[in-house]
Amino acid sequence: MIKLVAIDLDGTLLTDAKTISNKNKAVLAQAKAQGVKIVVCTGRPLIAIGEYLEELNLVDQGDYSITFNGGLIQKNNTGELLGKTALNLEQVQDIYKLFTQLPLPMDILSDARCLQLNTAPEHVSLYPTMNKKVTYFPAAIEDLTKDTLYNKVVAAIDVDYLDEKMAEIPAEYIERYEVCKTRPNLLEFMPKGVTKAYGLKVLGEELDIDASEMLTLGDEANDLPMIEYAGIGVAMENATDDVKAVADYITGTNQADGVAQAIEKFVLN
């Protein structure tokens, strides 16, 4: 029996126009009414998904989200943390060296703030066009302090250029961090071991829900761990080939109410 449904946003629950279809909203409401936990799992901060949570009526006591790709597990109504894992200053400095060498634009998410470092003067970051809910500040590496929260580091740039530079990332960086694309033009660095599956494990322990009682839905590389982790892992039809390869089921696209299709099949019936 499925007790928890974990859903990615971009390319999964959201249409290409960044909206939630009426069909998806209705089916999710029906699942919640039956006592199923509906959990948004995203790389975004909580402040950037508030409108979607309200639209889905997921702002009551007992509603949770997994943000920063598993870095934070939070109560939706208060923002209270059940778990937190972030990068430290030394790791940020290490990534800064890499981004300067490649070069790639470097944005550091710090809760509702984004610190922008000048690692690639000829390549302007696209992140402000992709995440408009956070506040952006220019920053210098030498001014960063140990007591600042560093949730994750991102590089947002043209797809072809990003793919070219990803191929140049040394293997030791892949070993030290969780490195993955969350959108075709967005690369993210997280602490090692921090994934959406990690977030679900922490939340599952809090709620006494086993992985076998979870259904997860996603489309990109950062969704792959939670799709492997859950009892039923569902890939969208528009998902990457790697995600489809590990999924238990492939549903419709994000444009065709794929989330609703999967929940009707595995949760409501």
Active site residues: 8
User: What is d(CA 210, CA 139) in angstroms, rounded to the nearest whole number?
Assistant: 42
| Contact in structure between 234 and 262 (CB atoms under 8 Å) | yes
The DSSP code for 223 is: G
Bridge partners, 214 (sequence order): 4
Looking at this protein, which amino acid is placed at residue 49?
A: I
Question: What is the Cα–Cα distance from 197 to 226, expressed in whole angstroms?
Answer: 4
Identify the DSSP state of 57.
Answer: T
**Terminal-residue alpha carbon distance, the chain:** 10
Which amino acid appears at position 235 of this protein? Answer: A
Q: Please name which of 261, 102, 254, 244 lies closest in space to residue 187, comparing C-alpha atoms.
A: 102
Residues 6+ apart with CB under 8 A from 141: 92, 93, 96, 117
Measured in whole angstroms, the distance separating CA 218 from the mean position of its chain's CA atoms is 10
Using CA atoms, how far apart are residues 10 and 237, in angstroms rounded to an integer? Answer: 13
**147: which residues sit within 8 A by CB, 6+ positions away?**
none
